[in-house]
Amino acid sequence: MNSKKLNVLFLCTGNSARSQMAEGLLRHFAGERFEAYSAGLTPKGLNPLAVKAMAELGIDISAQQSKDVGVYLGRLFVHSLIIVCDHAAQHCPSIWPGMRSRIVWPIPDPASAQGAEEERLQKFREARDQIAALLKEWLAENGAETGAR
């Protein structure tokens, strides 16, 4: 953990898709300025379709692990807490040591999609692209270049 970087924690219910993709995207866009973390209220393991959707952009999140929010609670100064689902927004801690901002992005859960793999993968792409757009906007508001292509 680099003390010069600001810590950003992405939180969702299962820490299997949305928060994992957000963690990978922030590292890709502005890893030199931010330290990205993700966690869930009830971790379910990294979803293979999240890994696949990110790989389409050339971002490898396959080594990331699903973590319980308790891993960071009281142990990590979180400058920005970004919650990527409504359920987590209602049930997660609202105060963190060092927190400057708490943001909620209610992104639909792609892991709940039904159908053939290609149909489900499309929901992961949609969530990924929505997170990427919100992150780029957030980075611009916070004066960080994205480095995105």
Q: List residues with catalytic annotation.
A: 12, 85, 92
In this structure, the number of other CB atoms found within 10 A of the CB of residue 33 comes to: 18
Instruction: Spell out the residues 6+ positions from residue 66 whose beta carbon is closer than 8 angstroms to its own.
Output: 14, 15, 16, 20, 40, 43, 44, 45, 46
Q: What gap in Å lies between CA 101 and CA 132, rounded to an integer?
A: 19
What are the tokens at 70? 């308790």
